[in-house]
Structure 1
Amino acid sequence: MVSFILDTFTVRGPNGNHPCHVTTPARASLSELKDGSWIRLFQLDVARALAAQLVLAADYLHTQGVVHGDLHLGNILLKLTPHFDQLSPERLYEKYGAPEPEPVIHLDGKPLPPGVPSHGIVPIWLGTASEKITLPEARILLTDFGESFSCSNLKELKYESRTPLVIRPPEARFEPDKPLSYASDIWTLACTIWSIIAQRPLFEGFLASEDDMTREHVDTLGMLPLEWWKKWEARGEKFTEDGKPINRNPFRSWRDRFEDSVQQPRQREGMPVLGDDERDAIFDMLRPMLAFRPEERCTTKQILESEWMVRWTLPTYEKIPKSEK
């Protein structure tokens, strides 16, 4: 479930030397699959299996002393289908389309400078709409370790999170002098699991600021720890001093978000919804993962022992034929 380096080489060209890594090939990211869909949903069994694998992969990294540092749908890929590497070039092009050369041109019509190729090739699309992914296809590869670090290596400690703002853990803003830890992965892991089962992300913000995202956090999870609350200068614009929203519509609570992001879209599309028992189990698992204080968040081991993992997601993942894992 974790990509690894198969080979390395260096490209020496007119624009310099470029070190390259050959990694495990894969299909498309979960983000791209949702972008390729009108309804932006995974089938329920697929969502469960994806979530199970993501927690298993994160647990493996944490066991090895590594914080991923950038967990989100764009860094989770679907593995290739089992017999993909047996396709001939002709069959590959027949199934997925032949390479499409696109001319590289100067916008002002001038000749291309030395070192610029005359054509580029449009990347092949091996994905499909998210709702069309089947359970046997729901095998993940966790990638992009550019922000990863070791908690045990003092020289590698990180204080700045480069995770997208909508899923960035709040301690990155309110405790900038403390190093990030495994708990930062737990926050983004919770946000990513929500995005796997839901149509929309848990915290939303288009071109959002830090204040916008903190408002989303308080709307959803309640008041910040007191010292953070006092430090947040914009709190009075939307909240009373005791954390109540001020005459604001829409105000979307945790349960509101679950209904309008998970249940209602699935009902509209005629897809199965989550039963009350499973919904409550998801809540029981996600809320400790989203504790504001990083030291109060659960660990990957505790997540794997949660009711939702034990009763719903891990058993669904185990239904994938072992020959295809």
Structure 2
Amino acid sequence: MSTVSQTTTCLLEAKKLPYVTLDTGLSDEVIKYQPFDGMPNLEDVQMYNKGGYHPVHIGDILDGRFEVVHKLGSGSFGIVWLCRDINLKRWRAVKIKTADQSSNGTEEKIFDYLREQYAPEELEEKHISIPLEQFWLKGPNGHHSCFVMPVLGWSISNWRLSQKDYESQTNVNARNVCRQITESMHFLHRNGICHGDFKPGNILMKIEGIDDLDVDQLLEIMGEPECAYVETISGQPLTPSAPEYCVIPPDEFWCEKLTTNSIAIVDFGESFFVQDPPRSTGIPNLYAAPEVMFQGTGILGFHSDLWALACTLYEVRTGSPLFKDFYGSDLSNTVRQIESYLGPLPQKYRTTYVEMLRGIPGASGLGISNPTSQSDNPTTPSKRGSRPGTPDSNKSTKSNTDTFEATLGRERKRYKRIIPGQQPEPIKYRYPKEDVLGLADLLRKLIKYDPAERINTEAVMSHPWISGNGMGTTRKCTRNGNISARKIMMVSSAVVVSFVGVLVLVRRLRD
């Protein structure tokens, strides 16, 4: 029976494997490993080959200083390990990049530029998280660039799950976080930097108090590391290219009690200077602007980040992706969602889209086989417009209520915590009208097919929904709806009348 799917607790005292620098040449042999089926939180074990991940075990000492205690996460660019700085007695997150990605120096150039221009305190104030220091490891799969980072908490998506959407405080918290997110992008763009992969997964919440915990106290919160053993498909013994086991990251909710309401932007692996844009980036379609999604249809730049910013702001406010529906978030469904807001794809995007679909098995029959026609798709609604009174309302083709307002203003339903033996109590609510109109107006200015029509970060910063100017006092979001403006005026009038009456009485007493 294979042990691949079996897990065990990797106790720190069980195995102390020292880090060994290997001076042997790299092997071109590609070793195939048993996949970790049903374990999505583990890294792609096939990347333990030349150019891929550096093998690490619990208890390893990296750079003679950072003791590996747990794993925080992994991605296609590298693995992040929770380490104890032996010298400073502090907790650090050490990201070990894949050997292939380490040869790409763009990320390091951006970090170097930011360090030269700004003090660490200034970067932290702008919610930008860059390495505290860097070092290199030489291993069986190549040379690996390593970033030493402060330990951060869960992603903003998980933070949003912890918020009670039907409570007015959630509106305040979400708007505050959205303001921080916008400030961070504005700062990057003012310095000529495009993030390239701006999405909720790359926005983490800061934590506090972690350095007050020792190893035992922190593992009591996170749980002991659980590990899945690595095996080759051929049955041959493991080579130094792979670790004996892969570590399962802790549940992201481990940091809930340490979490603050301050964010940090991370992962600049897809970032670039605006004067030297790449052909495309690896940002998921859910957050990719059309010129990114349909490679070759336009030059990437600040405008591409701005589309991703709009998607991120919507998701932080509502807890749901803007362009994901019941059927999922694959290419065709994402495009269908985009068209539901903006109307049919322009010809330059549509032609590329059709070519892309021809390479996807089973993608035929989606009603887009004719790239020269943009109005014969039964799944594509007509173009929506802005509500009266907004800057776009001078166009006669606009309807009274656009799709953004309709989506944000719909009735929502959540359930309180389910108690065994009791029927769950549904809570129906709507977002405050001012919140709906404000965010919808901002989204209309950012979600544009034409990159040149998207407003810049300076305009986003000054928008009432972000700045708070002109939005009025945030009102409570309840199952009974919002307080009407008429009622507020009546109450205000009553207060004024009462005050005047008191003044008259005081004057008469003086006389």
TM-score where L is the length of structure 1: 0.77
Residue 160 of structure 1, CA deviation: 1.7
Amino acid at match of 2:446: M
Secondary structure at the aligned position of 1:5 is classed as coil
Residue 214 of structure 1, CA deviation: 2.7
Question: Structure 2 regions of 5+ residues with no counterpart?
Answer: 1-126, 355-367, 369-373, 385-401, 417-425, 474-511
Residue 57 of structure 1, CA deviation: 0.3
**How many angstroms apart in 2 are the aligned matches of 1:20 and 1:142?**
18
Matches within 5 A, 1:1-325: 1-33=127-159, 43-81=170-208, 83-100=209-226, 102-106=227-231, 110=235, 112-115=237-240, 116-125=242-251, 127=253, 137-152=260-275, 156-173=276-293, 176-204=296-324, 206=328, 208-209=330-331, 211-225=332-346, 234=368, 235=374, 236-238=376-378, 253-259=403-409, 263-265=411-413, 270=427, 273-311=430-468
Amino acid at match of 1:30: I
Task: State the superposition RMSD in angstroms.
Answer: 3.8
Residue 38 of structure 1, CA deviation: 11
Residue 110 of structure 1, CA deviation: 4.1
**How many angstroms apart in 1 are the aligned matches of 2:156 and 2:313?**
11
**How many angstroms apart in 1 are the aligned matches of 2:382 and 2:441?**
25
Matched residues, percent identical? Answer: 25
Amino acid at match of 2:435: E
**How many angstroms apart in 2 are the aligned matches of 1:194 and 1:272?**
18
Q: Aligned in 2, Cα 1:265/1:24: closer, same or farther, shift over 3 Å? A: farther
**How many angstroms apart in 2 are the aligned matches of 1:304 and 1:223?**
30
Match of 2:7 in 1: none
Secondary structure at the aligned position of 1:274 is classed as coil
Residue 8 of structure 1, CA deviation: 1.5
Residue 120 of structure 1, CA deviation: 3.5
Q: Which is helix-richer, 1 or 2?
A: 1
Partner deviation per Cα, 1:18-75 (whole Å, 9 max, x = no partner) = 2211123211212344678998x99333211221110000000001110111111111
Partner deviation per Cα, 1:214-237 (whole Å, 9 max, x = no partner) = 321121223445765688762433
**How many angstroms apart in 2 are the aligned matches of 1:174 and 1:113?**
41
Secondary structure at the aligned position of 1:309 is classed as helix
Q: Is the 8 A contact 2:290 2:449 kept in 1?
A: yes
Tell me which moved more, 108-117 or 50-59: 108-117
**How many angstroms apart in 2 are the aligned matches of 1:271 and 1:307?**
27
Q: Is the 8 A contact 2:310 2:446 kept in 1?
A: yes
Q: Is the 8 A contact 1:303 1:309 kept in 2?
A: yes
Q: Aligned in 2, Cα 1:113/1:107: closer, same or farther, shift over 3 Å? A: closer
Secondary structure at the aligned position of 2:412 is classed as helix
Q: Aligned in 2, Cα 1:37/1:301: closer, same or farther, shift over 3 Å? A: closer
Match of 2:423 in 1: none
Partner deviation per Cα, 1:277-312 (whole Å, 9 max, x = no partner) = 121111111210112211011111111111111228
Secondary structure at the aligned position of 1:188 is classed as helix
TM-score where L is the length of structure 2: 0.51
Q: Aligned in 2, Cα 1:64/1:113: closer, same or farther, shift over 3 Å? A: same
**How many angstroms apart in 1 are the aligned matches of 2:467 and 2:144?**
45
Q: Is the 8 A contact 1:71 1:185 kept in 2?
A: yes
Amino acid at match of 1:31: S
Q: Is the 8 A contact 2:222 2:254 kept in 1?
A: no
Match of 2:499 in 1: none
Secondary structure at the aligned position of 2:145 is classed as strand
Q: Is the 8 A contact 1:32 1:74 kept in 2?
A: no
Amino acid at match of 2:404: W
